[in-house]
Structure 1
Amino acid sequence: MVAIALGQMRRRPAAFVGLAVALFLAVATVTLFGSLFAADLAAPAAGRAAVDGPGLKVIAVAFGEIAVLVAFFVVVNALGFALRQQHRELALLRTVAATPVQARRLVRGQVVATAVLVAVPGCLVGAAAARRLLAELQRRGMAAPGVQVPGTPVPMVVALAAALAVGLAASALAARRISRIPPAAALTASSTEQGRTGAARLLAGIGALVGGGLLLRLAATRPAEQLDKAGQAALLGSLVLLVAIALAGPLAARVLAAVLGAPVRALAPGAGWLADANLRGYARRLSSAVVPVALLVGLSGTMVIMTHTAGAEAPGAATGVTSDTDVWLRQAELALLVCFAAVSTVNTLVAVTADRRREFALLRLVGATRAQLMRMLTAEAVLTAAVGVLLGAAVAGASSAAFSAAVTGSAVPAVPVAACRWIVLGAAALTVPGILATGVRAVRGPAAELVSGGRD
């Protein structure tokens, strides 16, 4: 199984690039904040007491927990897509007597191989980032001058163990469907897409939606002196709501695509109709594409609106949510989260589009030209960006409303229109050009050979 696992990774490297980058970011993030935590533990007590602000341990826990959760969210999404890319291969293995245990072992081997491959560079980047962040905190008076990142390998070991744990847990969930159904049914299912979201997944999505709502209620009811906790609860609630979107993504994406597809069909009767049919007919593929966009818009929008709301309510006040140092910390966290979301968005969209070579080749064989395919992809890209932005905006609106209720007593936050416009434009800039650039390459090559499987 090890040889087969590595062979599939060599045959489909594009399917594992996203997983590799996601695991790399996860390892680097855990190493970063774990190193800050270790630096605080190694610092003398007198030095920790003399520093103004929350301290390294609080920073590492408060800001690190969100970043780590986002990193793991990206890992799960990337792994699920990597397995969908090789669904047919796994089904074929089942038809030649591979057992469910062997199929799951193959997937675990791929996760372990990918994690080991990125472990060393991820740990090195995380350690370097920890030293850089510590220097910035010392320059701003939030860490004692003599504190240093210790040379212990414990944060790196913990980072690798955490990345392996989440990867193996995600692989167990993702490989469950292909390993439980009969071999013949698995092969048939590999060429089609389920028409509806499974009951277990839908129930999990509802549970995540309820959990996110409870976190937002907790944020909205925080007293004025606990605005930092309200901000953390609102941000964590937004992440849980995004998990709910990921779980119920095919259903939500199909509904939004149907609503938004009507004007597209009217404006472009040919390409618009085909794009709308593709998105609604392949809701799981659409969900894979829009979830990273929603993650980017939801998290960045939540943080930007929260910061602006707190600043508008208490201009010039040196409180925990409006001081210059805390604003800098939130900007640093926002940059990290945007990095995760942007990488996940680009990797997923490129891989999703590149995997459609045979589909494009079949359309060419029935008379579609490359120009018509590119017009279809343009309509799909616009619809994908619109669905992702709407889902992310809904999460950002709910989270920032809960925070605003704690800050101002009103559920109407102060919205920085210019910043939000840049977030939407950034999401569109990552989505539309990424799909089109990959599509240009995907429509090349001899159509008959691609349809017959001669090239991948």
Structure 2
Amino acid sequence: MGTVLPLAVGQIRRRPASFVGLAVALLLAVATLTLFGSLVAAQAAAPPAVSRTPVDGPGVMLIAGAFGEIAVLVALFVVVNALGFTVRQQFRDLALLRTVAATPRQVRRLLRAQVTATVLLVAAPGWAVGALAARGFLGALQRRGMAAPGLRIPGAPVAMAVALGVALLVGLAATALGARRITRPTPAAALTADTAGQRRTGVLRLFAGVAVLAGGALLLRLAATRAPGEVDKAGQATMLGALVLLVGLALLGPLAARVLATVLGAPVRVLAPRVGWLADANLRGYAARSSSAVVPVALLVGLSGTMLIMTSTAERAAGAAGIATGVTRATDVWLRGAELGMLVCFAAVSTVNTLVALTADRRREFALLRLVGATRRQLLRMLAVEAVLTTAVGVLLGSAVAATAAGAFARSVTGSVVPAVPVAACVWVLAGAAALTVPGILGTGLRAVGGRVPEAVGGERE
């Protein structure tokens, strides 16, 4: 451990851009776990007179469990996605270490040390953000009569310790998976392996993706078969099913990105023969890299669209029947709005982090294109086309998940698979996805295509 820790810290200091996204994702995960853990602790530690006070709604414990279930899963999903990208960015450095006699065990220890150091670095600010959010959220619940007035967030660090432990366990588990591709081949094979994502999707990953999609389909079937009076349970199963489907799409991301890019790229190649052809070739050829950019967009659109359509469908069904359910009462509408805001925040952070890091990591690629005659203006036009295609692929995948999940929910609530779609709200979601994706890629691209070409070609990636 004496040499591993300095190497880990040195790698973080030398490549800070590779770890910023991971640090932000881990901070959000720690804050989210602290937030909902603190709510559970507040209810569990409350005196009997306070805990038995009648409230409007399901109560703090159920809110923290049902509300936090999806939020925590999304936060951890963002962590796994960010960590996988961080490991891929270090692939060549780690392969070089293996050529100078570093063993697979030492490489795994190095990655574990990096994750541990990053988790510990963000632990304190994550705890602070989570504790403040817990107090603010509990206060909002109390003002709406959804929590007992006497509840207080305890000062005991149990929730913080659990948050740190869960974030660390998830990070280490994801590290073990990410290290396999580096430690499995011989050092020479690892050094010459493609790191940009031109490899085919492995059979094991394909099987895992299909299995996860099947699990999501089963959850949506459970949601669709709920009785009309169990709207809240159907809604929870729908959101969980949508998230599982998105995880399955993440596993099948390279394949899905290649197929959709091929379909969408055909008209682009006709309309813009030069930059369009190059942008389409990049998306199809570097499928793993493309999927890293597409998955956060699909996450944003899929979860936001599912919740918006689900709420609109429930409101229309309740209005037609002249009744109010858990998803249509004013207090619970606010609760779901808060949940939607949190999910959008996670997805937006994941989208921006991934796109900025991906584009910045292509500095050497852009320099090589400039060596063979491409101008900065042409490269920016190529990036603009890539940004549009990336947004379109992510929107299509996310919309497919939202439509499937919302159809299952509508089947439970109305007996028909056709949901009520809030067109204006969904348009805002699509506009938000484009506003995050296109400026993120072009803004980073402005810096990545600049600088002196010889230095960019021969230098280190940032």
Provide the C-alpha distance between the structure 1 equivalents of 2:461 and 2:253, rounded to a whole number of angstroms. Answer: 31
2:408 counterpart residue number: 402
Look up the equivalent residue of 1:350 and give its one-letter code: V
2:239–2:303 CA contact under 8 A, matched in 1: yes
Aligned mates of 1:306, 1:56 — CA distance in 2: 23
Taking the aligned partners of 1:37 and 1:193, their CA distance within structure 2 comes to 42
Q: Equivalent pairs: percent with the same residue? A: 72
1:268-306 Cα deviation digits (max 9, x unpaired)? 011000000011010000000000000000000000000
Amino acid aligned to 1:347: N
Letter in 2 for 1:336: M
Q: Does 1:197 align with 2:201?
A: yes
Q: Is the 8 A contact 1:48 1:55 kept in 2?
A: no
Determine if the alignment matches structure 1 residue 324 to structure 2 residue 323.
no
- Establish whether residue 355 from structure 1 lines up as the match of residue 361 from structure 2: yes
Q: Could you tell me which amino acid in structure 1 is paired with residue 377 of structure 2?
A: A
In the alignment, what sits opposite 2:221? 217
Aligned residue runs from structure 1 range 285-324, under 5 A: 285-315=289-319, 317-324=323-330
Q: 1:264 aligns with which of 264, 268, 291?
A: 268
CA contact (8 A) 2:302 2:399 kept: yes
Displacement of 1:233 in angstroms is: 0.4
SS in 1 for 2:130: helix
Q: CA 1:455–1:70 in structure 2 vs 1: closer, same or farther (change >3 Å)?
A: closer
Three-state SS of the structure 2 residue aligned to 1:67 is helix
**2:81 corresponds to 1:81:** no
Structure 1 residue 332 displacement after superposition: 0.3
Q: For residues 313 and 51 of structure 2, what CA distance do their matches in structure 1 show? A: 31
Structure-2 residue corresponding to 1:423 = 429
- RMSD between superposed Cα atoms in Å: 1.0
Structure 2 residue aligned with 1:48: 51
Q: Partner residue of 2:459?
A: 453
Q: Shift of residue 8 of structure 1? A: 1.1
Instruction: Indicate the residue corresponding to 1:343 in structure 2.
Output: 349
Please name the residue that 1:169 is paired with. 173
Q: Displacement, 1:192? A: 5.4
Report the CA distance shift for 1:190/1:95 in structure 2 as closer, same or farther (over 3 A): farther
Equivalent residue for 2:391?
Answer: 385
1:101 aligns with 2:105: yes
Name structure 1 gaps, 5 residues minimum: none
Counterpart of 1:286 in structure 2: which amino acid? S
Task: Provide the rounded CA distance (Å) in 2 between the counterparts of 1:217 and 1:229.
Answer: 13
Which residue is equivalent to 1:16? 19
- Over 3 Å counting, the alpha-carbon distance change for 1:194 and 1:378 in structure 2 is closer
Paired with 1:435 and 1:310, the residues of 2 have a C-alpha distance of: 37
- Which residue identity lines up with residue 16 of structure 2 in the other structure? P
Distance in structure 1 (CA, Å) of the matches to 2:186 and 2:457: 26
Give 1:318 deviation, angstroms: 2.8
TM-score by structure 1 length? 0.99
Quote how far apart the aligned CAs of 1:53 are.
1.3
User: 1:10: how far off?
Assistant: 1.0
Matched residue count = 456
Q: Distance in 1 between matches of 2:51 and 2:218?
A: 35
Cα-to-partner distance string for 1:304-324 (whole Å, 9 max, x where unaligned): 000000001112633111111
Does 1:67 pair with 2:71?
Answer: yes
Structure 2 unaligned residues grouped into runs of 5+: none
- The match for 1:36 is 39
Q: Which residue of 2 aligns with 1:284?
A: 288
Q: Using the alignment, how far apart are the partners of 1:387 and 1:320 within structure 2?
A: 34
Q: Distance in 2 between matches of 1:420 and 1:46?
A: 44
